[in-house]
A and B are shown apart, each in its own frame.
Chain A
Amino acid sequence: MVRIIYVEPSGNPRTVDVTEEWSLMQGATANGVDGIVGECGGSCACGTCHCYVEESRLAELPPPSSTEQDTLDGVAAEIKPNSRLACQIRATAALEGLVVTLPETQG
């Protein structure tokens, strides 16, 4: 299990133990975290699992693929330099304690 802290749009932090190798989207939706939809199920297609990764740890993640970048272009909330799609981030031991903030809207 990897501990991930999701900050819901209300500002409420939710600490969730995510199964290793699950995506952060799956970890959030399976545990009822608010502010994330994951409409396409995790195929990097819908842009409804948009999240902001804590900036100081952004470099620890593998960079987004070109498909993820294309899909990020279509998300509903503001895109920031630390915007990512949670379905494309795998929970690994290295990400223990990562904070991801969810936007006001997923569209």
Chain B
Amino acid sequence: MFTFDPYSPAIDADPFPFYKTLRDEYPCFWSPQAQTWVLSRYSDIVSAGQNWQLYSSAKGNLMTELPNRAGATLGTTDPPRHDRLRGLVQHAFMKRNLEGLAEPMRDIARTAAEALRGKDQFDFIDAFSSKFTVRVLFAALGLPLGDEQTVRDKAVLMVQSDPVSRAKGEEHIAAYNWMRDYAAKVIADRRAHPQNDLISHFSMAEIDGDKLDEREVLLTTTTLIMAGIESLGGFMSMLGLNLADYADARKAVVAKPELLPDAVEESLRFNTSAQRFRRCLQKDVTLHGQTMREGDFVCLAYGSGNRDERQYPNPDVYDITRKPRGHLGFGGGVHACLGSAIARMAIRIAFEEFHKVVPNYRRAQEKLDWMPSSTFRSPLRLPLTVH
């Protein structure tokens, strides 16, 4: 009997065979373990993502939601409130406003890459991507230096879920609470000493003359820190893994760094870190012969839509010449990733500098340990061998 349990370690490691069965045989599937419907075909996910009136985010968007978070962040509100919140922070993340970050990012990437010079083997995540992402986020948000490693560790922990209890474990909740307290300190500091930066503006912003709800300021800031570190770092490790596994692709982007953006887009399709988000139905819907009820949760399996053969021919082939238009690597619709431009830029710069020091590498171990998460997918460690 087929089932799809997003809490299973087998799904953390390799969800793709399960996704294929879902798409072909159960395109509207009820997962008893997750207590949610699962949509797995590209066109169904796009349709649901565009229809926020029906597929609401206000009850939370993470497959395993953090306590008291829904309704207070960009990803967990619906329009029109969502659009107003997004309007306040979008400006800082638009492509044309990021140019000033290019040189600081390159310095950070160069320093992190230089530390790898001469090494035969290293953990890509511990030795490079986590150092890069946390410093980039601190630079982008103007956070005070000193706590980087702890902030990174907590961000990675708070997105995880417990495979046995199928809920957040104590350590995950503790990490979330730590991050919320950390964000609260940063906000208090910016209010006392305002600077010309995102958190200062956001923490004092108003919508229609009303100050933002304190919970909105706090949890949106918490989420920005979490996403900036965990999602960016998780995706960097997936791109690193793809380039380690597919030597021809790696050689092509090392020889011609201008091809890196094509590799980034293909990896976003092939192995997006945000595999699954969820929505809550606002009325009954019948799809593929199944009736989903108002109030039911629905999982949008982006990672499956990106491998849908109905949309992408030979979807399990990693091909950097594919240029996969319309992929779901950053989600879609009104909740499409706020940080897509900064992520694309950071990753391009990071790999340009990484490849100057380490152009030839491969996986040091066949079997990887995967993060336990019902929402995100990335390895916990990525040992690489230099050759």
The CA-CA distance from A44 to B335 in the complex, in Å, is 10
Is A74 a contact partner of B83 (Cβ separation < 8 A)? no
Residues of A within 8 A of B87 (CB): 67
With an 8 A cutoff between CB atoms, is A103 at the interface? no
Pick the contact of A23 from B50, B90, B93, B96 — CB < 8 Å?
A: B50
Main secondary structure of the interface of A (DSSP, over half): loop
Main secondary structure of the interface of B (DSSP, over half): helix
Is B334 a contact partner of A46 (Cβ separation < 8 A)? no
Residues of A within 8 A of B325 (CB): 29-30, 32
- A-B Cβ contacts below 8 A, count: 67
The CA-CA distance from A44 to B52 in the complex, in Å, is 14
Stretch at the interface among A5-13, A34-42, A55-63, A92-100: A34-42
With an 8 A cutoff between CB atoms, is A105 at the interface? no
**Nearest-neighbor residue (CB-CB) of A32 within chain B:** B325
**Nearest-neighbor residue (CB-CB) of A66 within chain B:** B87
Pick the contact of B333 from A42, A74, A107 — CB < 8 Å?
A: A42
Mask, B42-66, CB within 8 Å of A = 1, is 1100110011000000000000000
Interface residues of A toward B: which range? Answer: 20 to 34
* A46-B46 contact, Cβ under 8 Å, with A41-B330, A41-B336: no
Shortest CB-to-CB span from B224 to chain A, Å, is 15
Pick the contact of B336 from A21, A22, A42, A74 — CB < 8 Å?
A: A42
The CA-CA distance from A18 to B371 in the complex, in Å, is 38
Is A30 a contact partner of B335 (Cβ separation < 8 A)? no
- Listed in ascending order, the chain A residues whose CB lies under 8 Å from chain B are 19, 21-23, 26, 29-30, 32, 38-46, 67, 74, 90, 107
* Beyond A23-B50, A41-B330, A46-B95, 15 additional pairs, beta carbon < 8 A: A21-B50, A22-B47, A26-B332, A30-B46, A30-B311, A32-B325, A39-B340, A41-B332, A41-B336, A43-B335, A44-B83, A45-B90, A45-B93, A74-B94, A107-B96
- Listed in ascending order, the chain B residues whose CB lies under 8 Å from chain A are 42-43, 46-47, 50-51, 83, 86-87, 90, 93-96, 311, 325-326, 330-338, 340-341
